[in-house]
Amino acid sequence: MRADKPSGDKASLSKRVCVREAHPSDQQKPTETNAKANILVKQSTTLTERCTVAGQCSATLKIKGTLVVESRGQN
């Protein structure tokens, strides 16, 4: 995901940066809240996986504004 052009609208200046999964289901027991909501996300290992998860999160939570995904040198 990327932001091509800022709209100039103050609300659009809000940015969220996705770096890594906070509660990865493949590295720890899911939190009770995540388990009940069936939010079971593995830690991504590629930029493509991270973008996919970020997009799903953004759509599900109806996040507005720019979403930036950190690549950590991965393709």
- For the chain, the first-to-last Cα distance in angstroms comes to 13
Reduce the DSSP state of residue 32 to 3 states and report it: helix
Decide if 5 is inside a domain.
no
Decide if 3 is inside a domain.
no
Measured CA angle at 56 (ends 52, 60), to 5 deg: 175
Decide if 4 is inside a domain.
no
H or E segment and range at residue 52: helix 47-61
Q: Which domain holds residue 59?
A: 10-69
Decide if 2 is inside a domain.
no
The total number of structural domains in the chain stands at 1
Decide if 45 is inside a domain.
yes
Is the Cα torsion angle 23, 45, 2, 57 positive or negative in sign? negative
pTM: 0.66
* Amino acid making up residue 56: Q
Could you report the per-residue pLDDT of 5-58, keeping only the tens digit for each? Answer: 445 555 545 677 877 888 899 998 988 998 998 989 999 888 899 999 888 888
